[in-house]
Amino acid sequence: MQRKRVEARRAGAGPDTLILLEHPPAITLGRSFDPAHLLETRAALAARGIQVYEAARGGSATYHGPGQLVGYLVIDLAARGAVDVHRFLRGIESDLVAAIHELGVAAHTVPGRTGVFAAAAGRPRKLASIGVGLRGWVSYHGFALNVSVDPLDFAPIVPCGLADIEISSLVRELGGSPPEGLMERARAAVSTAFAAHWDAP
Protein backbone atom coordinates (compact mmCIF):
# COMPACT_ATOMS: atom_id res chain seq x y z
CA MET A 1 0.00 0.00 0.00
CA GLN A 2 2.76 2.41 0.91
CA ARG A 3 4.70 1.79 -2.32
CA LYS A 4 1.55 2.34 -4.39
CA ARG A 5 0.84 5.61 -2.59
CA VAL A 6 4.44 6.76 -3.14
CA GLU A 7 4.34 6.02 -6.87
CA ALA A 8 0.95 7.69 -7.24
CA ARG A 9 2.22 10.79 -5.42
CA ARG A 10 5.32 10.93 -7.61
CA ALA A 11 3.08 10.74 -10.69
CA GLY A 12 0.85 13.51 -9.37
CA ALA A 13 -2.06 11.08 -9.18
CA GLY A 14 -2.59 11.01 -5.42
CA PRO A 15 -2.56 13.28 -2.35
CA ASP A 16 -0.12 13.50 0.53
CA THR A 17 -1.17 10.74 2.92
CA LEU A 18 -0.62 9.49 6.45
CA ILE A 19 -1.16 5.72 6.82
CA LEU A 20 -1.65 4.54 10.43
CA LEU A 21 -1.52 0.87 11.43
CA GLU A 22 -0.25 -1.79 13.82
CA HIS A 23 2.12 -4.50 12.56
CA PRO A 24 2.39 -8.11 13.67
CA PRO A 25 5.68 -8.78 15.51
CA ALA A 26 8.59 -7.83 13.25
CA ILE A 27 12.06 -6.32 13.31
CA THR A 28 13.07 -3.96 10.53
CA LEU A 29 16.63 -3.10 9.60
CA GLY A 30 17.28 0.36 8.19
CA ARG A 31 20.03 1.56 5.88
CA SER A 32 22.41 2.20 8.82
CA PHE A 33 21.96 -1.29 10.26
CA ASP A 34 24.95 -2.76 12.06
CA PRO A 35 24.81 -6.58 12.51
CA ALA A 36 25.88 -6.04 16.14
CA HIS A 37 22.47 -4.43 16.73
CA LEU A 38 20.63 -7.74 16.16
CA LEU A 39 21.12 -9.79 19.34
CA GLU A 40 19.37 -13.01 18.25
CA THR A 41 19.64 -15.06 15.08
CA ARG A 42 16.93 -14.72 12.46
CA ALA A 43 16.13 -18.41 12.92
CA ALA A 44 15.58 -17.94 16.66
CA LEU A 45 13.38 -14.92 16.04
CA ALA A 46 11.37 -16.74 13.36
CA ALA A 47 10.80 -19.62 15.79
CA ARG A 48 9.14 -17.08 18.11
CA GLY A 49 7.02 -15.65 15.30
CA ILE A 50 9.10 -12.52 14.74
CA GLN A 51 10.00 -11.81 11.12
CA VAL A 52 13.02 -9.69 10.10
CA TYR A 53 12.84 -7.33 7.11
CA GLU A 54 15.26 -4.97 5.42
CA ALA A 55 13.68 -1.52 5.11
CA ALA A 56 14.69 1.36 2.84
CA ARG A 57 14.58 3.91 5.63
CA GLY A 58 17.13 5.67 7.75
CA GLY A 59 18.31 4.26 11.05
CA SER A 60 19.27 0.82 12.29
CA ALA A 61 17.15 -1.91 13.90
CA THR A 62 13.73 -1.38 15.45
CA TYR A 63 10.85 -3.53 16.62
CA HIS A 64 7.22 -3.31 15.47
CA GLY A 65 4.29 -5.12 17.01
CA PRO A 66 0.80 -4.90 18.47
CA GLY A 67 0.38 -1.96 20.80
CA GLN A 68 2.61 0.25 18.66
CA LEU A 69 1.15 2.88 16.32
CA VAL A 70 3.13 2.98 13.08
CA GLY A 71 2.73 5.91 10.70
CA TYR A 72 3.83 5.95 7.06
CA LEU A 73 4.00 9.53 5.82
CA VAL A 74 3.81 9.96 2.03
CA ILE A 75 4.46 13.63 1.32
CA ASP A 76 5.77 15.42 -1.76
CA LEU A 77 8.32 17.70 -0.11
CA ALA A 78 9.35 19.32 -3.40
CA ALA A 79 5.76 20.38 -4.08
CA ARG A 80 5.80 22.12 -0.71
CA GLY A 81 9.16 23.79 -1.33
CA ALA A 82 10.49 21.94 1.70
CA VAL A 83 13.42 19.89 0.40
CA ASP A 84 15.21 19.81 3.75
CA VAL A 85 15.39 16.36 5.37
CA HIS A 86 16.44 17.66 8.79
CA ARG A 87 13.56 20.14 8.86
CA PHE A 88 11.20 17.33 7.83
CA LEU A 89 12.41 15.12 10.69
CA ARG A 90 12.08 17.95 13.21
CA GLY A 91 8.53 18.51 11.97
CA ILE A 92 7.61 14.86 12.55
CA GLU A 93 9.10 15.09 16.04
CA SER A 94 7.13 18.22 16.91
CA ASP A 95 3.89 16.62 15.71
CA LEU A 96 4.51 13.54 17.84
CA VAL A 97 5.38 15.65 20.89
CA ALA A 98 2.09 17.54 20.47
CA ALA A 99 0.10 14.30 20.13
CA ILE A 100 1.80 12.70 23.15
CA HIS A 101 1.13 15.79 25.27
CA GLU A 102 -2.53 15.58 24.22
CA LEU A 103 -2.56 12.05 25.66
CA GLY A 104 -1.31 13.28 29.04
CA VAL A 105 2.38 12.36 28.80
CA ALA A 106 5.22 14.89 28.93
CA ALA A 107 7.58 14.37 25.99
CA HIS A 108 10.50 16.13 24.39
CA THR A 109 13.26 15.77 21.83
CA VAL A 110 16.96 15.33 22.53
CA PRO A 111 19.46 17.43 20.55
CA GLY A 112 21.49 15.25 18.22
CA ARG A 113 19.09 12.30 18.46
CA THR A 114 16.13 11.61 16.22
CA GLY A 115 12.92 10.54 17.95
CA VAL A 116 10.77 11.50 20.91
CA PHE A 117 11.58 10.79 24.56
CA ALA A 118 9.74 10.90 27.87
CA ALA A 119 10.47 14.16 29.65
CA ALA A 120 12.12 12.79 32.76
CA ALA A 121 15.47 12.91 34.50
CA GLY A 122 17.95 10.07 34.22
CA ARG A 123 18.48 7.65 31.37
CA PRO A 124 16.59 8.72 28.20
CA ARG A 125 13.33 6.78 27.72
CA LYS A 126 12.31 6.60 24.07
CA LEU A 127 8.63 6.78 23.18
CA ALA A 128 8.80 7.13 19.40
CA SER A 129 11.31 6.23 16.71
CA ILE A 130 11.55 7.91 13.32
CA GLY A 131 13.07 6.59 10.11
CA VAL A 132 12.21 7.94 6.68
CA GLY A 133 13.12 7.33 3.05
CA LEU A 134 12.82 9.58 0.01
CA ARG A 135 12.10 8.82 -3.63
CA GLY A 136 12.36 11.91 -5.79
CA TRP A 137 11.59 14.05 -2.70
CA VAL A 138 8.45 12.05 -1.92
CA SER A 139 8.76 10.69 1.62
CA TYR A 140 7.88 7.23 2.82
CA HIS A 141 8.25 5.18 6.00
CA GLY A 142 7.90 7.45 9.02
CA PHE A 143 7.51 6.75 12.74
CA ALA A 144 6.56 4.22 15.40
CA LEU A 145 4.89 5.40 18.62
CA ASN A 146 4.94 2.98 21.56
CA VAL A 147 1.42 3.06 22.97
CA SER A 148 0.98 -0.14 24.97
CA VAL A 149 3.73 -2.33 23.50
CA ASP A 150 5.88 -4.11 26.08
CA PRO A 151 9.39 -2.57 26.15
CA LEU A 152 10.76 -6.11 26.67
CA ASP A 153 9.74 -6.87 23.06
CA PHE A 154 12.76 -4.77 22.04
CA ALA A 155 15.18 -7.11 23.88
CA PRO A 156 16.42 -8.87 20.67
CA ILE A 157 17.89 -5.62 19.32
CA VAL A 158 19.91 -2.55 20.24
CA PRO A 159 17.04 -0.14 19.47
CA CYS A 160 18.06 2.34 16.78
CA GLY A 161 21.67 1.43 17.63
CA LEU A 162 21.40 3.38 20.90
CA ALA A 163 22.71 1.24 23.74
CA ASP A 164 22.34 3.97 26.37
CA ILE A 165 18.56 4.45 26.16
CA GLU A 166 15.51 2.67 27.52
CA ILE A 167 12.41 1.92 25.51
CA SER A 168 9.22 3.18 27.10
CA SER A 169 5.55 3.44 26.19
CA LEU A 170 2.60 5.71 26.88
CA VAL A 171 1.19 3.08 29.24
CA ARG A 172 4.42 2.94 31.22
CA GLU A 173 4.64 6.73 31.44
CA LEU A 174 1.00 6.98 32.51
CA GLY A 175 1.88 4.67 35.38
CA GLY A 176 -0.58 1.83 35.19
CA SER A 177 -2.66 -0.52 33.12
CA PRO A 178 -3.68 0.69 29.64
CA PRO A 179 -6.48 3.26 29.85
CA GLU A 180 -9.54 2.16 27.91
CA GLY A 181 -9.39 3.15 24.25
CA LEU A 182 -5.80 4.43 24.45
CA MET A 183 -4.82 3.21 20.98
CA GLU A 184 -7.89 4.84 19.43
CA ARG A 185 -7.12 8.06 21.31
CA ALA A 186 -3.50 7.88 20.12
CA ARG A 187 -4.64 7.45 16.51
CA ALA A 188 -6.92 10.48 16.84
CA ALA A 189 -4.27 12.65 18.51
CA VAL A 190 -1.61 11.75 15.92
CA SER A 191 -4.05 12.26 13.03
CA THR A 192 -5.02 15.69 14.35
CA ALA A 193 -1.44 16.84 14.91
CA PHE A 194 -0.22 15.69 11.49
CA ALA A 195 -3.27 16.99 9.63
CA ALA A 196 -2.79 20.42 11.20
CA HIS A 197 0.87 20.48 10.14
CA TRP A 198 0.82 18.72 6.76
CA ASP A 199 -2.86 18.81 5.76
CA ALA A 200 -2.50 15.10 4.95
CA PRO A 201 -5.66 12.92 4.94
pLDDT given at position 56: 87
Enumerate the domain spans of the chain.
2-23+67-143+161-198
pLDDT, tens digit only, all 201 positions of the chain: 999 999 999 999 999 999 999 999 999 999 999 999 999 999 999 999 999 999 989 889 999 999 999 999 999 999 998 889 999 999 999 999 999 999 999 999 998 889 999 987 778 899 999 999 999 999 999 999 999 999 999 999 999 888 888 999 999 999 877 788 999 999 999 999 999 988 755
Three-class DSSP labels, the chain:
CHHHHHHHHHCCCCCCEEEEECCCCEEEECCCCCHHHECCCHHHHHHCCCEEEECCCCCCEEEECCCEEEEEEECECHHHCCCCHHHHHHHHHHHHHHHHHHCCCCEEEECCEEEEEECCCCCCEEEEEEEEEEECCEEEEEEEEECCCCHHHHCCECHHHCCCCEECCHHHHHCCCCCCCHHHHHHHHHHHHHHHHHCCC
pLDDT given at position 49: 95
| 2-23+67-143+161-198 CATH | 3.30.930.10
List, by residue number, the catalytic residues: 160
